A and B are shown apart, each in its own frame.
Chain A
Amino acid sequence: MKTFDYARADSAAEAVRDHAPGTMYLGGGTNLVDLMRLGVAEPDRLVDVSRLPLDRIEQAGDRVRIGATVRNSDLAADPGIRARYPMLARAVLTGASGQVRNVATVAGNLLQRTRCAYFQDVTRPCNKRRPGSGCPAIAGDHTNLAIMGASEACVATHPSDMAVALTALGAEVHVTGTGGDRVIPMPGLHRLPGDEPERDTVLEPGELIVAVELPPPPPGAMVYRKVRERASFAFALVSIAAALDVGADGTVAGCRIALGGLAHVPWRAERAEQALLGGPATGEAFLRAAEAELEQASPLPRNAYKVPLTRNLIVSTLEGLAS
């Protein structure tokens, strides 16, 4: 690991003030420290923001504000979250392991990097790690990588479960930086790779996430389901966060679908949602909606299974919610 300076910030404002090129913010460190050990991240300076007074989950009117340093375990165990946003509690609990969740923060979870094997191996090319060096995953191992929104430069996926639920819930990410404060609605925090895969998010250098705010939960039932070949401690092959509100007349009054494991971003399935709204809540309609969403898919040879998997998952999940 490259030698680095370490400072602990007492306030968000101080952390932002302290930021300079080569500086990285340190949350729980469950991903960043790994990347430093691998030589993938080589910050000159870490500003530890894990102990900022941002560790509260607070009710603010009909909204809930989750501080950036709230630990994943605490978020998943919060009674209000479990009662009102069960998909979020479930998503967090399906991620990583108990030990990792005890340390990992909400902001760090959002900002974790892809687990693409090439990205994590400094001896191999990767456009995300070394822009312009190439993407060997496209011809090589992309089994777990993107089928939606990928580019010729990058087929990485975002690994977070929590971010998928936040995307379905329409969460807002509160950010502070030298340019002031701003609010970024999910899924707008993350960006597609395009020809700049080195940029995971729309955050400007030095910007710091201070909170995630949840609007009132959507009406109807909600669920999170994660698919993986190992029963725990594995990233999603594909995951789904969905909420469905079926009106008294049997038509879809409201619908939220977000998908994980498919793209460089937690993927909001807007086409599927649009296809469903106002229509019947039937298996046939769910299948049509899933297929409408998956028209955008451009799978590679080894991840083509994600197309039927996602289709099945959308249909099965919505059927479960409708009943």
Chain B
Amino acid sequence: MKAFALERLVPAHVRAFEAYVPAPPDDVLLRRFGVTHLHRLNNNENPLGPPPAARAVLARRDAGEAALYPQGDGWHLRRTLARHFDLEPEQVILGNGASEVIAFVIKTFCEPGDNILTADRTFAVYEWMASFSGIEPRLVPLLDHGFDDVGMLRAIEGRTRVVFLCNPNNPTGSWWDHARLARFLAAVDGRAIVVVDEAYAEFAEAPGFPDSFALMRQHPNLVVFRSFSKMWGLAGLRIGWMAASPPVAAMVRKTSISYSVNLLALEAARATVWDLAHIAATQAHCRAMRAGLAALAGRLGLEMLGGIGNFAMLRMPIPDTVVHRRLMARGVMARAMTSFRYAGWLRVSFGDAEAMAAFAAALEAVLAEG
């Protein structure tokens, strides 16, 4: 073989991108940090796990089925979701986690020279996915920890193809109500696809939270993302979905990957739809844990930030990355937020009572060290 000039074969935007490196598995972390247990408060997982019907589906699967391909586009799950949200099955597209659905949308609507618009301090994957696809991510600063509608409208221009709103926003928990989202969509006036990522929508208890599926009927450029990882406790199975108006969904389907969702995920997700008791139990858990965290923040004199979601942020008096390490050494995983451009803040998921107690004790000890 002649000299293999890898650099020549790789697009500049890929060369420039820094690969995301996930944390090592728990057994490695346990050894490295010298602890015997890790409380996971870093990924906004649901400590209640999946609803009972989904658990039952998983329990009765035959291991031999692993040899079979799943149905290619989630036929039954799409129909179940469509019935529940008054949509057509063709409006629903599934993905291997909502992150894959983000890729479908960017691939469908963007080409080099285009840009996407989102906030500077929100879920990172919109920005990353655009960057390594050769599409410019334009970031509008949050205003008072929330998406700035005026700033985003001002930033839309002729090459803006997709606007990503995270509602409620991860990591701030801030949210737009129905009227504000409706006004925003009216002002965008079809100039760009507007994606509303509602990964945490099921945690919303406020009556003003948007009914985005209803808005979609008036605004065919609206795309809604949902996840089975947060409320529904299926993070380990990786499944998310989007809904769009029929013509938009037909376009996105061209770039979607068939067979990317495994059969366990398809069946378990279908069994969750739409377990109101599970939603109520999870919401009650979040209310209790949020109150406990607020009490801890008050006791320690820490600013707390959070709205809708199974998480909140605390502002640390020392670097968040230091707190993260010291908590790890005490068996607690929380999320340092410097990488979310919230330097000095720590995001804490609402884990089970034992984990939250461990977090409180560990944080008090860490901060006492100075």
Do A and B pair up? The answer is: no
